[in-house]
């Protein structure tokens, strides 16, 4: 079973680092719960630039790992019939930093299984775990798991085999269930 994992918003708590930098620079106090749109230009205060941090060298190098992600990935990697992949979109600056970050924090995922792709709708696998609605909606994977975030929490996607995970424990539980159903079916 091929499982495709997103970095930003799933493996890495990217927006926590983004808000720390943004709030420090502009003396604001936005929290993740304020990020109700995928398009951050609709969230940022007038006259400020939140997106520029994605182009700043060093931004992606030390992102905080999402709570439970290391344990969840280790649990999934220990299942003989599961092959893990990382698929992430990135700015040019972020490519090498994200690759190093992934290798450092998730060594059980081989380098050859780290993919950089904006067009995740072209990635074929059994399960995709992502926080971006457009990636979930257009995925050709058999099953999808939306990792709950403020920017996707109100979405009602009409898609079969769609699951919502509020934590990494949920991700692992859902994948275990899908594996069990596959063996039975």
pTM listed for this prediction: 0.94
What confidence category does residue 38 fall into, taking pLDDT thresholds of 50, 70 and 90?
confident
pLDDT digits (tens, 9 = 90+) for 100-150: 999 999 999 999 999 999 999 999 999 999 999 999 989 999 999 999 999
Instruction: Spell out the domain ranges in the chain.
Output: 2-13+63-184, 14-55
Residue 149 in contact with residue 33, Cβ under 8 Å? no
Q: What is the pLDDT of residue 91?
A: 83
What confidence category does residue 181 fall into, taking pLDDT thresholds of 50, 70 and 90?
confident
* Class of the CATH domain delimited by 2-13+63-184: alpha beta
Q: Taking 80 as the threshold, does the pLDDT of residue 159 lie above it?
A: no
pLDDT digits (tens, 9 = 90+) for 85-96: 999 998 888 899
Residue 45 in contact with residue 28, Cβ under 8 Å? yes
∠ Cα 106 108 113 (to 5°)? 85
């Amino acid at each position: 079973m091929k499982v495709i994992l997103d970095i930003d918003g799933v493996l890495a708590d990217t927006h926590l680092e983004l808000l720390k930098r943004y709030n420090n620079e502009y003396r604001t106090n936005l929290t993740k719960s304020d990020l109700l749109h995928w398009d951050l230009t609709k969230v940022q205060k007038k006259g400020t630039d939140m997106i520029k941090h994605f182009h700043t060298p060093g931004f992606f190098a030390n992102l905080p790992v999402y709570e439970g992600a290391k344990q969840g990935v280790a649990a999934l990697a220990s299942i003989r019939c599961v092959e893990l992949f990382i698929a992430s979109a990135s700015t040019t600056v972020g490519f090498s930093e994200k690759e190093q970050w992934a290798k450092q924090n998730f060594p059980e995922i081989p380098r050859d299984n780290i993919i950089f792709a904006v067009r995740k709708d072209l990635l074929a696998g059994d399960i995709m775990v992502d926080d971006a609605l457009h990636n979930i909606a257009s995925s050709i994977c058999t099953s999808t798991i939306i990792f709950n975030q403020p920017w996707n929490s109100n979405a009602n996607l009409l898609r079969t085999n769609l699951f919502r995970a509020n934590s990494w424990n949920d991700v692992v539980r859902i994948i275990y269930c899908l594996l069990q159903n596959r063996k039975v079916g």
